[in-house]
Amino acid sequence: MNGYVTQEDHPMAGNGTVSSDNEGCAKEMHNGALANQLGSWPYGRAGWCAGQDVKPWTYDISQWIDWVGNQNSLRYQGLYNGQNYVPQNEQSGANQNIHANIWVVYYTNISVQSSSTNVLYIGHSFGRPFAAQMENFSAMAGINHNQTIEFSGGASGAPDQLWADDGHRENIKAILDTGTIDVLIMICCSADWVANFGLTNDDAVWNFTSYALQQNPNTRIGLAMPWSDFPEDYDNAAEHRNATDQAYPLWKNMASRLSSDFNNADVFAFYHGAAVYELREMFEGGNLSDVDQMRGSSGTSLFTDEKGHAGQIVEDLGTLLWLAAIHGVDPMTMPEFTQYETDIRLIARAILDEQSQA
């Protein structure tokens, strides 16, 4: 499976690995073999004798699975003496074959969270890929997460533009009208908030929060801080991160004011843009073997285009930060992401630790 291999051998019954035993199954009567049958019943057989139950063979393949959502391919082969089995003397009507019943068994840790968490993300493409992965990542953590996305690209995905646009505003209201949204995520930044250097409130954030809490007073409000676009305009990671590093404390202060204005509603801010800067700094220092270039294909690059849309490793690391913000999941409790040489869980944990001390 996915390049991994295991096998189960079936030596002759009752006689270890010896290739034949005229009384192999006769010696297995105490283990359920049925005695006094006609014909060749006493002879040893590979792993089973007539009358016995078939013992299941189990193997833990959890470390082989691509948990991020890609396809997993499982293949079974029945081999005879290590080779593909070719039936002999088929004209005898013996119907010689090797077959198996195979089950892939999995479970969900329902003790972590038995009910679903319904999350609505409204915003642009520097938040959408993380929202899109949240159902899969949450499932890996034993959490039932239902994700809805109202997307608009670029500046039109900021809160002010979404509120001003009749179509997007009414779509978002219709989703909130169900009263089932547990978490509403909005992303920085509205134009006026930027123009005022983050010192004023974002009126559109207040408008969406007010409407959401009218429909469900228990809705949690999340405010996401992304990274600065056009990353190649900056000489290095330190220069790239400067603007949002300065903006994030102001973003958190606004979250506190928002909570106060709505009777101490549950409002939280998080900074998934830090994932970009940490990975870029590692890449520039020659410490990120999973990335070949700043811009290129998603699987081998930090960014996929000049605008700065995230490559896959950025998406995966950033989603760990979303998972921590929304569900409180410690990245180190997640399965290892074996597709990377770099342990992105450690990076996520370091980012969260640094932010908690700021």
Is beta strand 83-84 parallel, antiparallel or unpaired with respect to 79-80?
antiparallel
pLDDT at residue 46, rounded to an integer: 66
Q: Are 237 and 275 in contact (CB under 8 A)?
A: no
DSSP assignments along 186-242, one per residue:
EES--HHHHHTTT-S--HHHHHHHHHHHHH-TT-EEEEE----S-GGGSSSHHHHHH
Least confident of 74-78, 223-227, 247-251, 333-337: 74-78
Q: Are 230 and 184 in contact (CB under 8 A)?
A: no
Rounded to whole angstroms, the Cα distance separating 67 from 136 reads 7
User: Which pair of tokens denotes residue 304?
Assistant: 């996929």
* Crossing angle (nearest 10°) for helices 344-357 and 312-327: 50
What single-letter amino acid sits at 62? S
pLDDT at residue 149, rounded to an integer: 98
Rounded to whole angstroms, the Cα distance separating 178 from 182 reads 11
What single-letter DSSP state applies at residue 12?
B
3-state secondary structure of 297: coil
User: Which pair of tokens denotes residue 17?
Assistant: 């690995």
DSSP assignments along 46-87, one per residue:
BS--TTPPPPP-----GGG--TTS---------EETTEE---
User: In this model, does residue 2 exceed pLDDT 80?
Assistant: no
Q: Are 153 and 217 in contact (CB under 8 A)?
A: no
pLDDT in tens, 267-316: 999 999 999 999 999 999 999 999 999 999 999 999 999 999 999 999 99
What single-letter DSSP state applies at residue 56?
P
pLDDT in tens, 125-175: 999 999 999 999 999 999 999 999 999 999 999 999 999 999 999 999 999
Identify the structural domains of the chain with CATH numbers, from first to last.
Answer: 1-106 (no CATH), 117-357 (3.40.50.1110)
Least confident of 8-17, 20-29, 173-182, 216-225: 8-17
Rounded to whole angstroms, the Cα distance separating 237 from 101 reads 53
Q: Of 352, 341, 349, whose CA–CA distance to 313 is shortest? A: 341
List of residues 6+ apart from 296 with CB closer than 8 A: 304, 311
Rounded to whole angstroms, the Cα distance separating 311 from 295 reads 8
Q: Of 344, 286, 272, whose CA–CA distance to 313 is shortest? A: 344
User: In this model, does residue 83 exceed pLDDT 50?
Assistant: yes
pLDDT class of 115 with cuts at 50, 70, 90:
confident
Q: Are 182 and 220 in contact (CB under 8 A)?
A: yes
> What pTM value is reported for the model?
0.70
Rounded to whole angstroms, the Cα distance separating 171 from 208 reads 12
Rounded to whole angstroms, the Cα distance separating 356 from 226 reads 17
Comparing 13 with 241, which gets the higher pLDDT?
241
| CB half-sphere exposure, 199, CA atoms < 13 A | 3
What single-letter DSSP state applies at residue 331?
G
Q: Of 326, 344, 327, whose CA–CA distance to 335 is shortest? A: 344
Comparing 106 with 309, which gets the higher pLDDT?
309
Q: Are 156 and 165 in contact (CB under 8 A)?
A: yes
Ramachandran class of 108: left when φ > 0, alpha when ψ lies in -120 to 50, beta otherwise: beta
Element (H, E) at 108: none
